[in-house]
Amino acid sequence: MTTHSTDPIVAIATAPGRGGIGVVRISGRDLGALIGRLFSSPLTPRHAHYLPFNDAAGNAIDAGIALFFKGPNSYTGEDVLELQGHGGPAVLRRLQERCIELGHDLGLRHAEPGEFTQRAFLNDRLDLAQAEAVADLIDASSEAAARSAMASLSGAFSAHVNALGDRIVHLRMLVEATLDFPEEEIDFLEKYQARETLTGIQDDLRALTRQARQGMILREGLHVVLAGQPNVGKSSLLNALAGDDIAIVTPIAGTTRDKVIQQIHIQGVPIHIVDTAGLRDTDDTVESIGIARSWAEIEKADVIIHLQDARSRSDALDVAITSRLPARTPVLEVLNKTDLLDRLPGANDLSSVGSGQVGSQDSDTPGDHGTHRASSQPAIAISAKTGAGLDVLRQKLLDIAGWNPGTESPWLARERHLHALQRADEHLAAAAEYASHNDQVLDLFAEELRLTHDALCSITGQFTSDDLLGEIFSSFCIGK
């Protein structure tokens, strides 16, 4: 994408497919000429005009609402025209092409993904964290994630980042002033309580990082693979975990048609579950492609649930499955169908892989597991049928995700933001180290403060490379 292009752009802004209405959106510095060609009379900004949308021969392609936003008071900060017609793909495509036809000599072209929002960013309508929140709000799969994305979009996250940045700038100004007037450079750190201020900033930065980490979990969720032999209850477990939650299937590039990924939510945290029902040797070409994709998903998993029948765990097939799982990924051994056991499994029964059949001495209940077991990989006893043990499993998944319901997650965050916060933390630590040398290295202290500020500014996009902008906006949908 040409990052700073100012050509007028057009796109169908509503989702592909059929809907009650559909919107074609145009943005450009001055859309007056184009509007004059589209309609016989001028449009009053921010007024709904019901008008025919005609083709070159003067026949109506559709009739609908034209809405004009005069820049800079628009989404992009430029002139924006929205044509709301009937939401059919053919109608909208014809409408879009008619606009291109009429605006061709004005430079009107199809918008790149995210180009409207990118312009909003470049024209200071949104900062970068807010612009990212636009995409996150659209992608949000749970109410909790949508709420947090909206908070980010309205600037809550940016406000905290900026407030921290202001405090750093203030401290830095004091140091720089001291450096400029060396005769006053007497006990600067003491005089301005610089160390205490720095510690306060460090504490607040860490609190912000904790919240951002929670926000990232809410955005990214956890990728879980459900591995196990046929009939151990994988589908039943998926349904039981989903409960009333309507599973929204998130299409992941390349797997859209396989639908191997289901999404459920636990406390609003998206859990993407890959069901590996197809994992077996096969001569069938089509099936083997599907299986290869399942294994590819397994490679990307954050955690693997190895589901087994509690009555026959760790048989040869389970051992074979275990041996193929990537060693670096945590595996949760889960024993299902405990309702069919004569007695509930005890601690020894639940110890890690390969401990064989159920049926030894003690009388721990499934709910007790994990609290007093020596094994590093204690199994979790459940019944997908009765729901026993599912809360423990859910909690375990949230633990692995790092989810802490006690910590508020007021906004969504991305890995990029976390890295920036970590960088800021490292520079603050370096500044603190210099501060421990009293006033001897104030220039280095000031430099670390500057670098901390730069790291924070990269979140809101004050200093951001074109490459990064391209990367961020190209992952948006067209028309946004």
In the complex, which residues of this chain contact ligand GDP (CB under 6 A)? 228, 230-236, 277, 336-337, 339-340, 383-385
Residue 289 Cβ, how far from ligand GDP at the closest point, in Å? 21
Task: Quote the CA–CA distance of 423 and 429 in Å, as a whole number.
Answer: 10
Residue 228 Cβ, how far from ligand GDP at the closest point, in Å? 6
Q: Which is nearer to ligand GDP, 342 or 467 (CB)?
A: 342
By beta carbon distance, the residue nearest ligand GDP is: 233
Query: What is the widest separation between alpha-carbon atoms in the chain?
Result: 88
Q: Which is nearer to ligand GDP, 38 or 279 (CB)?
A: 279
Q: Which is nearer to ligand GDP, 77 or 233 (CB)?
A: 233
Residue 317 Cβ, how far from ligand GDP at the closest point, in Å? 12
Phi, psi of 225 (to 5 degrees): -110, 130
Q: Which is nearer to ligand GDP, 8 or 389 (CB)?
A: 389
Residue 242 Cβ, how far from ligand GDP at the closest point, in Å? 13
Residue 205 Cβ, how far from ligand GDP at the closest point, in Å? 46
Cβ neighbors of 91 (< 8 A, separation 6 or more) are 22, 61, 62, 85
Tokens at residue 283, please? Answer: 């001569």
Residue 275 Cβ, how far from ligand GDP at the closest point, in Å? 7
Q: Which is nearer to ligand GDP, 385 or 416 (CB)?
A: 385
Q: Which is nearer to ligand GDP, 265 or 337 (CB)?
A: 337
Task: Quote the CA–CA distance of 155 and 131 in Å, as a whole number.
Answer: 10
Q: Which is nearer to ligand GDP, 339 or 425 (CB)?
A: 339
Q: Which is nearer to ligand GDP, 219 or 337 (CB)?
A: 337
Q: Say which residue the tokens 């799969």 belong to.
A: 141
Q: Which is nearer to ligand GDP, 277 or 303 (CB)?
A: 277
Residue 303 Cβ, how far from ligand GDP at the closest point, in Å? 18
Q: Which is nearer to ligand GDP, 119 or 234 (CB)?
A: 234
Residue 395 Cβ, how far from ligand GDP at the closest point, in Å? 19
Residue 273 Cβ, how far from ligand GDP at the closest point, in Å? 12
Residue 262 Cβ, how far from ligand GDP at the closest point, in Å? 12
In this structure, the chain runs to a length of 480
